[in-house]
Structure 1
């Protein structure tokens, strides 16, 4: 369950609820939605969706999803509507969408290299059961959730060698059953920083469940609230067991923020 005492996380939620301008920034997969074998089938828990709707409607409160997913895929799995009030930061903060705006098309100077490496990676893992390549806006990821451990390790080693040889300047990230490479070097820490500055937030609550979320958790300032969802090493002051427990906390925050 929670790291530290229940009282500590209660105090953190109370502190966040009393912020002058609050930003609630959240990872998606494993944080708001359970992890699934088919990534595009991921959807928010109903309780999480309800809490985010109430938070985004509360005074002086902004909500953002901060994900390694491309902006296009994040919009789809979050079921964004035209009138959504939730900000999106995709590709680990390399892409943004803000309510009422069109997403800018960032130049991709390494598109040819990206396509070539993704093609080659697909050839490498083509005979590895359960492994597949996800093409992303600025790179690609190797998914091995459905592979056995030895096969996953072999696939990762081969794709690692490919990128290390052909694109040593690309950023490498690891996560839960995924190995990612990208020509852009932004991280979730820079995404949260840009959102904070744009929105003028004096307190940020960030929650995430994976290795890439630790960048954002480590970047939080005194007075912010960091929550790790699930197991694993973390710099966060607080921990919850799973997405369902986080949804309960977000619901409590929404009630307090709205003065209910």
Structure 2
């Protein structure tokens, strides 16, 4: 995860972080007045943004989504649970570009949704992150801090994090990505390969992420709805924790340097394919 620190060397990445935070907060705040669980979960049309922001802006999208969510919390859902919201939104965008790196063939790393295969990748990321988010947030807000009823909270967060990204996320990326690319503001056009983690054992990291997200979601809902255990039972309270650790470890193991290298290779090919400028006639 080297790039989440080295990105601060680039003025453009800092500006993109602020821009992502402002956009996310601007979309989030108007809907804070439509609560699902008052004080904790609201109608979140802004959920269409974090994955797209992560894919286009990399670590700047991750920081921007986290900061934007925190700003939004000041307008209706601010509590100690906001720490979980900050982390989960950061991880959504962070894992999005990491998952794109490991799920994509080496010759197809561009994030434009110009093929059915890329749409499938996007939706796979959206589903994984929906379950990963519900595990993180339910553990922090309900099982650890006990700020909300876990059964209703987990269900509401899962639905909220599935519907918006799965349906609206591809449209956001499809509309914005060509323009961002034209302006040279994709994170792969700004950062250098040596500033981005190459990762280690990415396939194993992917397995950890899948287990941490889908396995964690299954374990969480089993413990809440099927186990017959009390919410205060230590098994229920701490069952999500190893799955959260697996998610974070998996994301760290997956690198994203291949995206930077692929973008640079594409730029070199485009430069070589450009017609040479004719030499002026000598007098």
Do the two structures share a fold, i.e. TM-score over 0.5? no
| Structure in which a larger fraction of residues adopt strand | 1
| Structure in which a larger fraction of residues adopt helix | 2
Select the structure with the greater relative contact order (CA < 8 A; seq sep ≥ 6): 1
